[in-house]
């Protein structure tokens, strides 16, 4: 990318140098013939206010927010989307009418990937979410809002209970239900989403593979490796599978839509991300 091109976007976090966001968003810019750069900005938590203000002054259209800033950034914003408000976590900032608005596109990205890649229905389906961290919360809320009956399964039970009780009050406005469960709940589910880090650069699976069945759509948010042991086992029993790179691409697509309006070129974004991951393996 031309260094003279205007700065359109940035991802802030720490550490941030390994973020795929610059490659993914710049691929979307290029496919849309949009002249502009998107950079990674290393930002410790105590510097987030100054960094957001500085990027805003430089005229960026939006900012992606990654660990460990998703919560601390909130106090520096003018308003929050409904999802970001419920989750108390922001992964995307848009600047609209002079206001900095915080959004959370992680859960919607997961649901978009389930629907697009596996044509998975969500309304009325039972969905097991493995993990109760930031990603688990976001995915559980998005599934809940789309009318799924969500079962949260986590190694630390107290964290799953906390997740369910914090999202539970929002059930009224949706059609789904949410409760804490165990790995056995997978046998009666049609959707399984792994949001834990289990399987990242390892051959571990986050639950016994004997619980997998052909009636499942399995999305693994882990994308290093792209074909995790969980996805390989799921495919071998005839389940539909969606890799975590699609979730990453789809949450970035949602950010592009918030910033520019038009639907970005997913395939171009995916191709660029795959190329980058492959080059890192060399
Ligand atoms: P994120 O924001 O990406 O969701 P996180 O908040 O650190 O990250 O949450 C990580 C999730 O992975 C948690 O649900 C964690 O379980 P605990 O709440 O019990 O810590 C889960 N996790 C991480 N390593 C795990 C492991 N070896 N086995 C099972 N669950 C694990």
Q: What is the pLDDT of residues 226-241, one digit of tens each?
A: 999 999 999 999 999 9
Q: Which of 111, 120, 105, 197 is nearest to 154 (CA)?
A: 197
Q: How many Å lie between the centroid of ligand 1 and the Cα of residue 7?
A: 35
Q: What percent of the chain has pLDDT over 70?
A: 98
- What pLDDT shows up at residue 4? 78
Ligand 1 atom nearest to CA at 136:
4
Q: Is the CB of 196 under 6 A from ligand 1?
A: yes
- What pLDDT shows up at residue 174? 59
- What pLDDT shows up at residue 5? 87
The per-residue pLDDT for range 64-104, each reduced to its tens digit, is 999 999 999 999 999 999 999 999 999 999 998 889 999 99
Range 174-187 average pLDDT: 92
The per-residue pLDDT for range 127-151, each reduced to its tens digit, is 999 999 999 999 999 999 999 999 9
Task: Among 70, 90, 107, 131, say which to mutate for ligand 1: greatest number of ligand atoms within 8 Å of CB.
Answer: 131
What does pLDDT average to over the chain?
Answer: 95
Active site residue 282: no
- What pLDDT shows up at residue 98? 85
Whether 1 has a pLDDT exceeding 70, the answer reads: no
Range 249-257 average pLDDT: 98
- What pLDDT shows up at residue 31? 97
Whether 124 has a pLDDT exceeding 60, the answer reads: yes
Catalytic residue among 37, 70, 76, 254: 70
Q: Is the CB of 136 under 6 A from ligand 1?
A: yes
Ligand 1 atom nearest to CA at 70:
2
pLDDT-based confidence at residue 60 (cuts at 50, 70, 90):
very high
- What pLDDT shows up at residue 173? 62
Task: Among 195, 196, 205, 244, say which to mutate for ligand 1: greatest number of ligand atoms within 8 Å of CB.
Answer: 196
- What pLDDT shows up at residue 277? 96
């Amino acid at each position: 990318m031309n260094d003279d091109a205007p700065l359109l976007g940035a991802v802030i976090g720490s550490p941030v140098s390994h973020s795929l966001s610059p490659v993914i968003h710049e691929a979307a810019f290029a496919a849309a013939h949009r002249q502009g750069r998107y950079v990674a900005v290393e930002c410790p938590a105590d510097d987030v206010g100054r960094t957001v203000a500085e990027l805003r002054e430089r005229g960026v259209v939006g900012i992606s927010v990654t660990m460990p800033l998703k919560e601390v950034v909130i106090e520096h914003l003018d308003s929050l989307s409904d999802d970001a408000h419920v989750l108390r976590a922001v992964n995307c900032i848009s600047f609209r009418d002079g206001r900095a608005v915080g959004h959370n596109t992680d859960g919607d990205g997961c649901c978009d990937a389930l629907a697009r890649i596996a044509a998975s229905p969500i309304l009325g389906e039972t969905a097991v979410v493995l993990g109760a961290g930031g990603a688990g919360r976001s995915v559980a809320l998005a599934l809940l809002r789309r009318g799924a009956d969500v079962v949260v399964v986590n190694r630390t039970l107290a964290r799953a209970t906390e997740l369910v009780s914090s999202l539970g009050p929002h059930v009224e406005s949706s059609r789904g239900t949410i409760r804490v469960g165990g790995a056995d709940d997978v046998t009666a589910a049609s959707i399984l989403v792994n949001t834990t880090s289990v399987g990242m650069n390892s051959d571990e699976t986050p639950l016994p593979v004997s619980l997998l069945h052909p009636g499942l759509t399995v999305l693994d948010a882990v994308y290093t490796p792209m074909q995790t042991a969980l996805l390989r086992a799921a495919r071998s029993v005839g389940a539909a599978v969606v890799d975590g790179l699609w979730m990453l691409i789809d949450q970035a697509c949602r950010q592009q839509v918030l910033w520019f309006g038009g639907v970005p070129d997913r395939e171009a974004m995916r191709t660029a991300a795959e190329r980058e991951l492959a080059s890192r393996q060399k």
